[in-house]
Amino acid sequence: SSTGVVVDEAGVIFPIVEELPGGRSVTTPCAVEIIYDGDRYLKEVDVLLDAGHGGPETGSVGANGLIERDLSLPVALLTERELITLGYSVELTRRDNLHMPIRQRTAIANALSPRAFVPIHHNGGALRRSDKPGIETFHQVGSTESRRLAGLLFEEINNAFSDYWVPWVATVHRGASTRLKEPGLDAYGVLRYTPGIPTVISEAGYLSNPAEAQLLA
């Protein structure tokens, strides 16, 4: 069950660890435990979006200089805007160029128990040419809801890119799939540390492909 979070005036989220007589024990973006009541208390949310990377953690870097860290945040903000117009409540794990460990991102998710938790990423490394965008979504190995969400997200992102043509690249992971650390265990901590919450990682396009990096820009 969700324990809730407190949010400061800049939109930074602090997941609650414990309610204490002197205030709420929370963890900061750098995962330090402090006493803080914040400006706003939030118990739950429909959708939690996680803009990948942040701070010194750049993620993939395009040939045109476009950085995954800097691309994922505006994509998350645009997604938030669209979801709000559809009537959903939405929060972001970060709204600025913050560095945040995976454990803190998943602590926010576990504190809010969203109906969907979506870490937003953009890929790098593929070299094999493809006649279709090499979009990947990764779901939790033991969750049918996560698997269904991964399929839906793949279809929607793929449809969004279908209006364009560039010399795409892809890998064998194109589509919705799992990636395992060992039998029955998700390789990605953001999936592994959120049991019971439908979580899907989106990897939309390859910044390492100059044509895709230009399109994403």
Q: Is residue 130 scored above 60 in pLDDT?
A: yes
Q: Provide Rg for the chain, Cα atoms.
A: 18
What's the rounded Cα separation, in Å, for the pair 127 and 98?
31
Q: Is the pTM of this model over 0.85?
A: yes
- Tens of pLDDT along 65-99? 999 999 999 999 999 999 999 999 999 999 999 99
pLDDT computed for residue 22 by the predictor:
85
What's the rounded Cα separation, in Å, for the pair 217 and 212?
8
pLDDT computed for residue 63 by the predictor:
85
What's the rounded Cα separation, in Å, for the pair 151 and 118?
13
pLDDT computed for residue 213 by the predictor:
96
Q: Is residue 1 scored above 70 in pLDDT?
A: no
Residue found under tokens 């990682």: 201
- With b for 16 or more beta-carbon neighbours within 10 A and e for fewer, the 2-12 pattern comes to bbbbbbeeeeb
pLDDT computed for residue 164 by the predictor:
93
- Tens of pLDDT along 38-52? 899 999 999 999 999
Mean pLDDT, the chain, rounded, equals 96
Cβ atoms of residues 34 and 23 within 8 Å: no
Residue of 148, 114, 125, 129 whose CA lies nearest to 44:
114
User: What is the mean predicted confidence (pLDDT) over 115-130?
Assistant: 96
| Distant-in-sequence, close-in-space partners of 31: CB < 8 Å, separation ≥ 6 | 101, 103, 104, 107
What's the rounded Cα separation, in Å, for the pair 103 and 107?
6
What's the rounded Cα separation, in Å, for the pair 28 and 104?
8
Residue found under tokens 């435990």: 33
- Tokens representing 139 are 């779901």
Q: Is residue 135 classed as helix, strand or coil in its secondary structure?
A: coil
| Distant-in-sequence, close-in-space partners of 87: CB < 8 Å, separation ≥ 6 | none
User: What is the mean predicted confidence (pLDDT) over 13-22?
Assistant: 94
Query: How many Cα atoms are found within 13 Å in the side-chain-facing hemisphere of 112?
Result: 31
- Tokens representing 200 are 């899907």
